[in-house]
Amino acid sequence: MDMSGTLEEALERLHSTGPERNGWLSNHAPMVAEALAAHGRAGAVHHWLDLYRDKLEDFPDPVDPVTDDNWLSALGDPRRAADWIDHFSRSLAEHPWRSVLAVWWPRLLPGISAGATHPVIRVGHAVRALGADENEPRLTELAHGLGYWAARYQPVSGIAPSPGGRSAADSLDAVPPIVQGPAGFRARLDAVRRLPVWADEVSDPDAARERLTELVRAATHRYATHGHGEPTMLVHAATAPNAVLRTLDALPRELWAPSLRAAWTASAAVTAMYTPSEPIGYTTSRRLTAEEVLELAVAHGDEHVIKFTDTALDVGDETALVAAVRAVEISEPLV
Render pLDDT for 260-270 as a digit per residue (tens, 0 to 9): 999 999 999 99
| Cα gap 139→144, rounded to integer Å | 9
| Cα gap 239→28, rounded to integer Å | 13
Render pLDDT for 103-152 as a digit per residue (tens, 0 to 9): 999 999 999 999 999 999 999 999 999 999 999 999 999 999 999 999 99
Half-sphere CA count of 93, side-chain side, radius 13 A: 7
Residues 6+ apart with CB under 8 A from 281: 225
DSSP sequence for 260-297 = HHHHHHHHHHHHHHH--SS------S----HHHHHHHH
Q: What is the pLDDT along the chain (335 residues), one digit of tens a residue?
A: 566 799 999 999 999 999 999 988 999 999 999 999 999 999 999 999 999 999 999 999 999 999 999 999 999 999 999 999 999 999 999 999 999 999 999 999 999 999 999 999 999 999 999 999 999 999 999 999 999 999 999 898 889 999 999 999 999 999 999 976 678 898 899 899 999 999 899 999 999 999 999 999 999 999 999 999 999 999 999 999 999 999 999 999 999 999 999 999 999 999 999 999 999 988 776 789 999 999 999 999 999 999 999 999 999 999 999 999 999 999 999 98
At 201, give phi and psi (nearest 5°).
Answer: -85, -5
- What is the model's pTM? 0.97
- CA-CA distances (angstroms) from residue 187 to 152, 192, 230, 273? 14, 9, 16, 10
Report helix, strand or coil for 25.
Answer: strand
CA dihedral 195, 203, 95, 76 (to 10 degrees): 20
| Cα gap 78→60, rounded to integer Å | 10
